[in-house]
Structure formats: structure tokens, C-alpha cells
Amino acid sequence: MIKLAWTLVTLFLVFETPIGFAQSEAIRESEWIMHQDSFQLSGTLTVPQNSRPVAVLLISGSGPTDRDGNNPFMKNNSLKGLSDSLVLEGFTTMRFDKRGIGKSATHTMDESQLTFETFVNDASQWLTRLKDTFPDYKFIIAGHSEGSLIGILVAQHNQVDGFISIAGAGRPFEVIVREQLGKQLPGLVPESDSIVHRIKSGETVDEMNPMLLSLYRPSVQPYLRSYMKYDPKTEIGKLDVPILIVQGENDLQITTDDARTLYNGGNKATLQLIPHMNHVLKDIKGGLMENQTSYNNPELPISAALLEHVLEFLNKF
């Protein structure tokens, strides 16, 4: 288990506004600011008036995905929809923009300085603030996609009461990349394997097929190197808290094999496979086009089955 280098942080509440629910009189949404190193990070705390003593820290997925589950190219409100639904059931939620993303973006950030542990440290500090604010609550981490592994590592180093993995990878990075490239660009698999091997061994790879540059650009290689150290199945096995693993069977990015692998690695895990749910937590009963279109449809509600399984898990605390 790695030893994380914690840094001194300062958090404070900036402002408070009613959330845009019909029940806004009973629900308050607050913007939180955290100063971590030289960066200003931003998050949203949402609290029902008659809150149950359980708070959920939501961690978003990879790339420029913000606290709501959106990125500059797609808006689906997946995590916002999950948060809103949990709040309506009486649970407090905290979701945040990861460093360099959304309202936590800054022009001074050097991507080459980011590591996977950077995001783990930041998420741990959001959890600490949440625990300081609600000292008598139970605390659950819910990580989506890459946020699942981030959440697993946060839970290893902090006292939490439960963990939820939603569409989380169960296999190492290089295995999933090889599988995805094999389906879409099989001719690039050998070069990708070579690049991965060189990055893991500590090299910086400057020259590559332009089609691989967005994935393996030199500035992101330190992050990938730190990410590749972790096997999700091994890491989830280090947790000694109740675990819920939820996976959609219509997911274009993560498979049910990943969910089963995580389940087999977890000590106190429950596995729930949702037949029609895709990667952005929407139920898709049509084909590929409908699935892809849902990534940019914020009006489409999150899967009812997902909410059912998550609530069943949370109601145990």
C-alpha cells in the first residue's frame, strides 16, 4: 500500500443557494472551496432539511469529467442526477470538480505534474471536510468509472462506512486499453502495448502514431505511470467495509467482466448487474446510436434500477 503525501489545506464555505428542485424549500445546496497546494478546488454540498445521518462523497470519472458527470463536449448530468435522487431520499451528498476540471480548472496547472495520487489526496481532503462538518454521520464513498479506483484508495487511507463502485474498472489499465483498441483499431495494439511497457518502466515516449497521441501524450505519461501501478481487484480486496458494485450491461466502456472481477476481489461485496444501463447511468433499450446519443442528453433520467440498488445499500447504515 502506498504512503500518501498529505498536504496542508484550507476549506471554507463560500455561499449557499436553494437547489433547483420543486422541493427547494427543504433542500440547500452550498458551494465549497478548497485550497490545496496552490490550487483552488470547487465542490457542491447538497443537504436535505430532514437529512438522514449518512453522507455520500461522489467521485467522477476520467478525463475532463466534472462534478455533474459532464465534460466540455457532452452534457448528460449523470452524477448530478444521482446526487439529486439521493438528496430527495434524505441523504447528504458531496460532489466536486477534480483538479484541473470544471470550476477547479486553472491556466497555471502543469499536466505533467499530475499523478493518480494527486486525485486520491484531493478526494481524501474533501472527505475530511465532510467528516468535520458532520461528525456524527456515516460516510459512504461512491466512485464512477475511474472514480471507483480513486474511491477505493481513499477508503484504504480513511475511515469510511461503505463503498460503492459504479461502472468501475476491475482490470488493470493496459488490459482494458488493449481490449478497447482491439475492437476499434486492432492495428495499433502492438504499438500501444510497447508504449505501455516503456511508460511503466520509467521511460518518456515522445514519438508515436498520431492516433495514439491523445491517449499517451508525453505530458500525461507521469499520470498514466502512477495509474498503472494499481490493479483494482487487488486494491478493493484491501477494504474491510460493505461494498456495492453496480454495472450496466449496456456499457460501451466498462464490461460486466470488470464488475465480476471487482466482486471476486472484494471481501464484503454485493454485485448488481443492470440489464439496460450504460456508462452514463441511463437505461438504453435501443442500439448503438441511442446509446451514444444519451451521452449528450441531460433530460434522460438515470436508471431507476441503479437508484434502487444504491438506496437499498445506503438504507443499511
Domain CATH code at residue 79: 3.40.50.1820
Residues linked to residue 93 through DSSP beta bridges, in sequence order: 46, 56
Residue located via cell numbers 441503479: 306
Q: Write out the three cell numbers for 141.
A: 464513498
At residue 24, the pLDDT reads 52
Rounded Cα gap, residues 38 and 33, in angstroms:
13
Q: Establish if 235 belongs to a structural domain.
A: no
Q: Counting beta carbons within 10 angstroms of the beta carbon of residue 29, is it exposed (0 to 12), middle (13 to 18) or buried (19 or more)?
A: buried
**Residue pLDDT, tens place only, 85-123:** 999 999 999 999 999 888 998 767 788 889 999 999 999
Q: Establish if 217 belongs to a structural domain.
A: no
Question: What's at 10, amino acid-wise?
Answer: T
Q: Establish if 198 belongs to a structural domain.
A: no
Number of residues assigned to the chain: 317
Which residues, given as ranges, of the chain have pLDDT below 70? 1-25, 107
Structural domain harbouring 61:
9-170+241-260+273-314
Residue located via cell numbers 427543504: 26
Q: Establish if 226 belongs to a structural domain.
A: no
Q: Establish if 210 belongs to a structural domain.
A: no
At residue 170, the pLDDT reads 97
Rounded Cα gap, residues 259 and 150, in angstroms:
16
Q: Where are the alpha helices (DSSP H) in 114-188?
A: 116-133, 146-157, 173-184
Number of compact structural domains in the chain: 1
SS3 of 241-300: CCEEEEEECCCCCCCHHHHHHHHHHCCCEEEEEECCECCCCCECCCCHHHHHHHHHCCCC
From the list 105, 133, 137, 160, the residue with the least C-alpha distance to 16 is 133
Q: Establish if 136 belongs to a structural domain.
A: yes
**Residue pLDDT, tens place only, 255-276:** 999 999 999 999 899 999 999 9
Q: Establish if 179 belongs to a structural domain.
A: no
At residue 36, the pLDDT reads 83
Q: Establish if 234 belongs to a structural domain.
A: no
At residue 158, the pLDDT reads 97
Indicate the helix (H) or strand (E) that contains 224. Answer: helix 221-227
